[in-house]
A and B are shown apart, each in its own frame.
Chain A
């Protein structure tokens, strides 16, 4: 188990970061190149102001008509995303690792906060699972892969939480925690999870397409 842990936090981690960041950069670069070739005409209408407004209104909680139409779901999906970003970045244990590896670290939250946010993420995840199953308009779109990605997204949180509280076999949990986190990061550039960065581009596009050309709010 020790060797596994050492491998996962050593070479595998490097590979993960390279694939994760490199994959995102390559996907963006590829799409940018493709857009210059095949969607070139739309650059005629590019407008930073409308693009930015479109992004902003969808980042602000209930900043769009669509979010206001489904306030409960919106609340869940906002909290889910906040937790997804905040826990891995600001967990003190992660920051210790950053510090040890690079001599730099981010602001750290208390473990109690991290715990609470983790439970929140898991709660939101369960909500999203159930919603996928019971709402007909979501269920009809959902494939096994959507459930798998959601499960993979939650896996590092479940295992991290169990490991921190030393519930179950600690070493195994740590291995699973690192492993699931790495799988998730590797998948991001190649799946719909790429919306992590692509969101900003599609939102900006529809923002200036509807806004700069027609003055219509895409939010």
Chain B
């Protein structure tokens, strides 16, 4: 299933050994050395829970059968073994990091799985969806292979469209010295350009000083999930360097989870920044939108507040791996009258089942994605909510699929969409009756 082209190439044992050696630091060595095989991690994993506690899906089994075995055999493995590893590290783990919080020794299984992905990638093994994205990044700097021209055109088109609702909306491109450089998931300009329009409306109403870069605008990082660390570093550098070039104060990340994890925590390592910190601060939309409403820069029309029960999906990479669970919750409570939390929640919430590259890995993984998403579907059903807010594109797509698969009868929404529906458009931004974009209505 996983191979990019021919299926029985010889295994490059030397390359595997190099990577095993390069990763054989104190952490990996200690983790592999002291795992006591207690099995406590099993209960933490939604794959395990969703498949009737199949012991082969416990996190310890997954790293023991892959990286553990690779070290044990000193890299002398065959093609079939690598195929089995691929099946585990891409098909049975979303690197959500929940298990590391349930392991008595805090073994960071996600790091062990990511290391295995890197080793497999070195042998030309990676899911096809990710392999395609990697080619696009390499050729165009973004995962969907969108040209700069198309991107800028889409921004202009969306700015124009938005003026029907909020006058004066512009999407400034490459504006030097702006406060925020807004970066997005290419899914937005490519398939859901209204996402750009919604962000532009919110930032305009908040009278923010922002810009969108013409290059380095893709904040996602699928090479990180494919196992191509060098390219993953390059992708982050594109974004960092553009921000430095434009002299912005911070990079603003769209409602995407792994983009935030990549930009803030893993990106600096991948890009080789010795202090482990990005060159400019990284801000996630959840944080900024929360501040806007808290500080009154965006006013929510109380009459429009959501009446139906609402629940909030903590994306792994925004909450557990991003630390924004309280901001997300407070934000939702500004927008909804009946907020119902999932159980468990916050940093202990379960992955939606679409993370770690699962969604972009493509349709051949869909059946497995739906099966392992059962835990999330049950969590949502138990809240009785009619609306699920998901500030992450992967969560959004996965929850939308789960909604159909398990007939949850919910509506999955992003924060941008709700804020746009609920916010009060100040008079100066209300479009004039003639429909002239620039017209300001005087009271």
Say how far B257's CB is from chain A's closest CB, in angstroms.
13
Instruction: From the candidates A31, A138, A213, name the one contacting B30 in the complex (CB within 8 A).
Output: A31
Q: Interface of chain B, helix or strand or loop or mixed?
A: loop
Alpha-carbon separation in the docked complex, A32 to B29 (Å) = 12
Chain B residue contacts of A182, Cβ below 8 A? none
Residues of chain B within 8 A (CB-CB) of A203 are 104-106
Which residues of chain A (140-198) have a CB below 8 Å from chain B? 140-143, 146, 192, 194-195, 198
- Cα A31 to Cα B34 in complex, Å, equals 13
Asked whether A213 lies within 8 Å of B265 as measured between CB atoms, the reply is: yes
- State which of A38, A65, A194, A205 has its C-beta within 8 Å of the C-beta of B34: A194
Q: How far is the CB of A22 from chain B (nearest CB, A)?
A: 18
A-chain residues with CB within 8 Å of residue B35 when the two chains form the complex: 192
Q: How many of A's residues come within 8 Å of B, CB to CB?
A: 51
Closest to B322 in A: A214
B55's contact among A32, A136, A218, by CB below 8 Å, is which?
A136
Q: A44-B277, A210-B100, A214-B321 are in contact. Are A140 and B30 (CB under 8 A)?
A: no
A178 to B347, CA, bound (A): 48
Q: In the assembled complex, which residues on chain B have CB atoms less than 8 Å from the CB atom of A137?
A: 39, 42, 48, 53, 55, 58, 61
Contact B102 A44 (CB under 8 A): no
> By the criterion CB–CB under 8 Å, are B37 and A218 in contact?
no
In the complex with contacts A54-B106, A70-B43, A206-B100, A214-B320 CB distance below 8 A: yes
A31 to B58, CA, bound (A): 27
In the assembled complex, the Cα of A218 lies from the Cα of B40 at a distance in Å of: 14
For residue B64, CB closer than 8 A to chain A, the reply is: yes
User: Which A residues touch B42, using CB under 8 A?
Assistant: 137
A141 to B109, CA, bound (A): 15
CA of A140 to CA of B39, assembled, Å? 9
Contact B39 A219 (CB under 8 A): no
Interface centre among A136, A146, A201, A202 (most CB of B within 10 A): A202
The CB with the most chain B CB atoms within 10 A, among A141, A143, A210, A215, is that of A141
Decide if B26 touches A38 in the complex (CB within 8 Å): yes
A136–B53 CB distance below 8 A = yes
Given contacts A141-B64, A206-B108, A216-B323, contact A32 B26 (CB under 8 A): yes
- Per the bound structure, the CA–CA distance linking A215 and B34 in Å amounts to 26
Least CB distance from A66 to B in Å reads 4
A45: chain B residues at CB < 8 Å are: 276
* Distance A213 CA – B348 CA, assembled complex (angstroms): 16
B181 at the interface (CB under 8 A from A): no
8 Å CB contact of A194 from B33, B39, B97, B103: B33
Once the chains bind, are A205 and B277 in contact (CB under 8 Å)? Answer: no
| Chain A neighbourhood of B101, CB < 8 A | 65-66, 206, 210, 216-219
Scoring B44, B102, B344 by chain A CB atoms within 10 A of each residue's CB, the highest score goes to B102
Alpha-carbon gap, A64 to B104, bound state (A): 9
Q: Tell whether, in the assembled complex, residue B34 and residue A41 are in contact, meaning their CB atoms are under 8 Å apart.
A: no
Count of interface residues, chain B, beta-carbon cutoff 8 Å:
50
Given contacts A38-B26, A136-B55, A202-B30, contact A195 B36 (CB under 8 A): yes
Contact with B along A41-75 (1 / 0, CB 8 A): 11011000000001000100000111001100100
Q: Are B29 and A34 closer than 8 Å at their CB atoms?
A: yes
Q: Do residues B39 and A41 form an inter-chain contact, with CB atoms below 8 A?
A: no
CA of A108 to CA of B323, assembled, Å = 48
Contact A141 B39 (CB under 8 A): yes
Kindly state the separation between the CA atoms of A66 and B100 in the bound complex, as whole angstroms: 10
B56: Cβ under 8 A from any A Cβ: yes
> Contacts of A139 on B, CB cut-off 8 Å?
55
A214 and B60 CA atoms in complex are apart in Å by 24
Enumerate chain A residues within 8 angstroms of B58, measured Cβ to Cβ. 137, 140-141
Name the CB-closest residue of A to B24.
A38
CA distance A37 to B107 in the complex (A): 20
Tell which of B25, B34, B106, B269 touches A192, judged by Cβ atoms closer than 8 Å: B34
Encoded as 1 (CB less than 8 Å from any B CB) or 0, chain A from 115 to 127 comes to 0000000000000
Complex Cα–Cα for A213 and B264 (A):
10
In the complex, residue of chain A having the shortest beta-carbon distance to the beta carbon of B269: A41
A198–B277 CB distance below 8 A: no
Question: CB-CB < 8 A to B24: which residues of A?
Answer: 38
User: Closest B-chain residue to A207, C-beta based?
Assistant: B106
Tell me whether B37 and A202 are in contact (CB under 8 A): no
| Contact partners of B29 in chain A: CB under 8 A | 31, 34
The reply on A135 being an interface residue by CB < 8 A is yes
CB distance from B61 to the nearest CB of A (A): 6
Q: Which residues in chain B, 1-41, are within 8 Å of chain A measured between CB atoms?
A: 24-27, 29-31, 33-40
A37 to chain B: which residues have CB within 8 Å?
Answer: 25
Q: What is the bound-complex CA distance between A210 and B103, given in angstroms?
A: 13
| Contact, CB under 8 Å: B39 / A201 | no
Find chain A residues with CB under 8 A from B296 CB. Answer: none
Q: Is the CB of A66 within 8 A of B39?
A: no
- Which of B31, B40, B53, B64 sits near A66, CB closer than 8 Å? B40
Most buried by B among A77, A146, A199, A205: A205
**Cross-chain contact A65 with B348 (CB below 8 angstroms):** yes
What are the residues of chain B within 8 A of A205 when measuring CB–CB?
27, 106
Instruction: Encode B56-80 as 1/0 by CB contact (under 8 A) with A.
Output: 1010110010000000000000000
Beyond contacts A66-B43, A137-B42, A217-B347: 6 other A-B pairs, Cβ-Cβ < 8 A, are A34-B29, A77-B38, A137-B58, A201-B30, A213-B265, A215-B323
User: Lowest 9 A-B CB distances belong to which pairs?
Assistant: A206-B106, A38-B25, A35-B26, A138-B39, A141-B37, A214-B323, A216-B347, A66-B102, A137-B42
List, sorted by A's number, 8 A–B pairs whose CB atoms are closer than 8 Å: A34-B29, A137-B42, A141-B64, A143-B37, A198-B105, A205-B27, A206-B106, A216-B323
Binding site for B on A (CB under 8 A): 31-32, 34-35, 37-39, 41-42, 44-45, 54, 58, 64-66, 69-70, 73, 77, 132, 135-143, 146, 192, 194-195, 198-199, 201-203, 205-207, 209-210, 213-219
